[in-house]
Amino acid sequence: MHKNLKNIFLGFFSQAIILMLGLFVPRIILTHYNSDINGLTSTITQIFSYMALLEAGIGQATTNALYPFVNKDTYEKDKVSEIMSISRHYYRKITVIYAVVVLAMSLVLPIVLKTNVSYFTVFGVILFEGMTQVVSFWSIQNWTMLLNVDGRNYVKSNIELVNKILCYIIKIVLALKGVNIAFVQFGFFVVSLLKYTLYRRYMTTYYSWVDFKRKNNDNLELKDRNSYIITEIAWTVFSSTDMIILSVFCSTKLASVYSVYNMIFIAMTNLLDAVYNGVRFNLGQAYHDNLEKYKITHDLFNSVFMGTMTSLICVAYMLTIPFIRIYTKGVNDINYINQALPIMFCSIQLLSWSKYMAGNLMGLSGYAKKLSYISIVEAAINLTASIILVQKFGIVGVLIATVLAQPIKSLYCNWVSDYQIMKRNGKRTVSILGVNFLCFGIVVLLSLRISIDISSFGVFIIWGMVLSLISFSAVMTINMIINRDFLKLFVGIVKKGFNKKVSTR
């Protein structure tokens, strides 16, 4: 429980600060450079943020391999060292490939992207963004897997917070001075070297017993490593399609419009991810402990995280357009107001979270190969539909493609997790997911009768607080009615807090 609380608090706190800075910085880029530069940097950042997922195949395989040997504060140090040694070997092999891809992209993308920014500026931005990830792949990612499994995600949160604050300070100072954007990216690369130093110091202090030269005496392998890599490649294609296609087929200015809307929903996802990643190790430990115990944990996670995301997107749907109007005030080189975008982005987030728990369970239980197949189907549908629809519908077209591609994987993953892995019917899952989709649908209908007039950030914050209180209260209450285990957990926490308060009087 102590680790859970630290992970949740520090993860959420660090992401909240990063969120505030992340909303502030693009505004500076828009006003001190232009939409072309903002669209360019956003596109490149998205490309590399999802290219970073290529390592997650190794990361997920490492995580699943470690769970049986890092459980309930006990370690089988020889096995852990063997797994970490194998994991580092794979990470460093893929880093070499990644570095080659970075160089190739640095040379080619400046020609492919439709932008007015000079070739050498685009080259520099891509190169230094990629080299930052190279440092991470080579030396950091392997360590974070052990921290996650051991319930120490709060360490990662703290280091990432320091890293992000320094990056944003560099970006703000240099942007205000009008420095070439390529030099701004070089500053990020320098900061990544500091991040490596912080991780190394912590790991050598608390995990000095990990022997990376440990030989594999039992032919130990990272199970389903190749399947995870295929899954992550498919997810990379699926996730990075929209902005890249807009930059190639339309313009980086239009990609800037996409990035401003996407920024809102990425911020929400990152906040929720920070909490989820802080407690996800409970799922792995519960599965390896007892399947019946896992079923309860699985449903609790589904209710809590689907309910939370539903609450967030209900508020976001009402406030996105008012926020965009205030945020892009004074930026006139392209129109940022599009009434169709909020419902599309909200639907994407809801569909994405509907397959989180099921996808995680498929990985834990050895169904990674099946997961990779359906991920390829999802990516293929999204890519094909995006290229077709962008020609006529622009931003709305690529978003429609993303919405259309997701239900197939969501239905398949939840069917496998319920019927094949947990050996039960899917009524509980359908009720949990269904009620959250219904809540969002009701909000969409209600919004047709409600008009919100917001003229300043102060008024926006007040509306946000009021709507959030209403949304969370209503949605979470409905989720507790549907899932009685969630209700029992909530009542237990309240009683424990009340009894503790009484005993201290």
Q: What is the pLDDT of residues 101-132, one digit of tens each?
A: 888 888 887 887 777 777 888 888 888 878 87
The string of DSSP letters for 137-164 reads: HHHTHHHHHHHHHTT-HHHHHHHHHHHH
Give the whole-angstrom CA distance, residue 398 versus residue 257.
13
Write the burial class of residue 202 (CB in 10 Å: 0-12 exposed, 13-18 middle, 19+ buried).
Answer: middle
Tokens of 244: 């890249």
Give the whole-angstrom CA distance, residue 385 versus residue 387.
6
What are the residues whose beta carbons fall under 8 Å from the beta carbon of 447, sequence distance 6 or more?
317, 318
Which pLDDT value is given to residue 500? 46
Asked whether the CA dihedral 141, 17, 45, 383 is positive or negative, the reply is: positive
User: Quick check: 46 pLDDT over 90?
Assistant: no
Task: Give the SS3 label for residue 317.
Answer: helix
Write the burial class of residue 281 (CB in 10 Å: 0-12 exposed, 13-18 middle, 19+ buried).
Answer: buried
Asked whether the CA dihedral 285, 289, 291, 292 is positive or negative, the reply is: negative
Burial 464-480 (b: 16+ CB within 10 A, else e): beebeeebbebbbebbb
Tokens of 104: 């190739």
Task: Give the SS3 label for residue 474.
Answer: helix
Give the whole-angstrom CA distance, residue 267 versus residue 260.
11
When pLDDT is cut at 50, 70 and 90, the band that residue 501 belongs to is very low
| Structure confidence by residue, pLDDT tens digits, 155-197 | 887 888 888 888 778 777 877 777 777 777 787 788 778 888 8
Q: Are 133 and 96 in contact (CB under 8 A)?
A: no
Give the whole-angstrom CA distance, residue 358 versus residue 420.
11
**Count of CB atoms situated within 10 Å of the CB of 483:** 22
Which pLDDT value is given to residue 405? 87
Mean residue pLDDT of the chain comes to 78
Domain positions in the chain are 1-240
Which pLDDT value is given to residue 219? 47
Residue that has been written with the tokens 């940097």 in this structure: 41
What are the residues whose beta carbons fall under 8 Å from the beta carbon of 212, sequence distance 6 or more?
81, 84, 85, 88
When pLDDT is cut at 50, 70 and 90, the band that residue 439 belongs to is very high
User: Quick check: 502 pLDDT over 50?
Assistant: no
Enumerate the β-bridge partners of residue 70.
75
Task: Give the SS3 label for residue 71.
Answer: strand
Give the whole-angstrom CA distance, residue 98 versus residue 393.
34
| Structure confidence by residue, pLDDT tens digits, 188-237 | 788 778 888 888 888 888 888 878 777 655 445 556 556 666 666 666 66
Distance, C-alpha 219 to centroid of its chain: 34
**Count of CB atoms situated within 10 Å of the CB of 108:** 12
When pLDDT is cut at 50, 70 and 90, the band that residue 144 belongs to is confident
Percent of the chain's residues with pLDDT above 90: 7
Closest CA to 363 of 265, 272, 235, 237: 235
Query: At residue 492, what is the residue type?
Result: G
Q: How far apart are the first and last CA of the chain?
A: 25
Helix (H) or strand (E) holding 74, with range, is strand 74-75
Enumerate the β-bridge partners of residue 74.
71
Q: Are 212 and 85 in contact (CB under 8 A)?
A: yes
Helix (H) or strand (E) holding 66, with range, is helix 56-66
User: Quick check: 55 pLDDT over 70?
Assistant: no
